[in-house]
A = this chain, B = another copy of it.
Amino acid sequence: MPLLVTGTIGIDTVHTPSAKAEKVSGGSCAYFAAASAFHHQPVRIVGAVGGDWPDNHATLLESIDGLCLEGLERRSESKTFAWGGRYFDNMNQRETLFTELGVLEEAPPEVPDSYSDSRIIFLANSHPSVQLDLLHKFPNRQLAVADTMDLWINIARDELLALFKEIDGLIINDSEAEQLTEIKNPISAAREIINMGPSFVIVKKGEHGAVLVHKDGVAVVPAFPLELEGVIDPTGAGDSFAGGFMGFLASSGKLDFKTMQESMAWGTVTASFTLGSFGLDGLCSTSRAELDSRMNEFKLITKI
């Protein structure tokens, strides 16, 4: 099942309590794609960068096996999306230091004709109207999953609710699920969101794992238990989780609850490598054997 992702390709500057990394390769689309390509190929990218996109970022993305970059527009007169943030002491909370929208303020990227047979679509966080427009380009899709953020819940709620009517799944942070529903319990909040349209919801809880609420059941997965030295930079972990989840799902060829539950575990383990380095380095320096080995470890750690 061909897999397509649309979202940001960004230039990130990240401050953590112990280190700082400037102009590292990031963006929701990039993290998702790098994570999903472990499990399924090709992963088709729809996104845009500006003339300032660093050569080493391009080289890094091009080096990932199985990514299709035909839908990556390079706009020489534009600026790449850039984000800067600072993590607080416990690495669970962060503040945004700056956001330079760049290409995100322009027309959305075009979808190449060759992508028209994509069956599994992931709409990384973006304005819900942009997400919906893109979705309509794939009338033969089998599965559409979206992410969103607090900003759109605040300023584009109607558009978001329209999007919910057409997607199959939503992947959302616990704080955003609460903001959207005013329900403080992630499972009950997810059920409320299902009433708005999607047939399943995954609530991400950061270092506490994730929960899947689906008409056929509930699945809970803890995060992979990283020690202090394994948590260098949480940026992109949520998108990497989504990438691992969707990539495994696409590779399985099945879209039922049980396969989604297994995909959640793969998403979790894949995302754990993102935390170990700044930017895409964690995912890009991980081998398939290391991924499989950590999954085996995860199974032992979570065995009941």
Interface residues of A in 188-212 (CB under 8 A from B): 188, 191, 205, 208-209, 211
A255 at the interface (CB under 8 A from B): no
Residue from B227, B299, B300 in contact with A185 in the complex, judged by beta carbons closer than 8 Å: B227
A225 at the interface (CB under 8 A from B): yes
Contact A90-B184, Cβ < 8 Å, known A261-B303, A299-B304:
yes
Q: Please determine whether B187 and A219 come into contact, CB atoms closer than 8 angstroms.
A: no
Q: Please determine whether B228 and A302 come into contact, CB atoms closer than 8 angstroms.
A: no
Contact A225-B211, Cβ < 8 Å, known A217-B301, A301-B217, A302-B220:
yes
Interface residues of A in 249-304 (CB under 8 A from B): 261-262, 265, 298-304
Q: Tell me the dominant secondary structure on chain A's binding face.
A: mixed
A21 at the interface (CB under 8 A from B): no
A183 at the interface (CB under 8 A from B): yes
A89 at the interface (CB under 8 A from B): yes
Cα A302 to Cα B301 in complex, Å, equals: 12
Contacts of A302 in B (CB 8 A): 219-221, 302, 304
Contact A187-B217, Cβ < 8 Å, known A262-B304, A298-B304, A302-B304:
no
Contacts of A205 in B (CB 8 A): 208
Residue from B185, B187, B301 in contact with A218 in the complex, judged by beta carbons closer than 8 Å: B301
Q: Please determine whether B265 and A304 come into contact, CB atoms closer than 8 angstroms.
A: yes
Q: Please determine whether B211 and A208 come into contact, CB atoms closer than 8 angstroms.
A: no
Contacts of A219 in B (CB 8 A): 301-303
Contacts of A304 in B (CB 8 A): 221, 261-262, 265, 298-299, 302
Contacts of A301 in B (CB 8 A): 217-220
- 3 residue pairs, one from A and one from B, having the closest CB atoms: A208-B208, A188-B228, A185-B228
Q: List 5 A-B contacts (CB under 8 A).
A: A185-B226, A188-B229, A219-B303, A220-B222, A221-B304
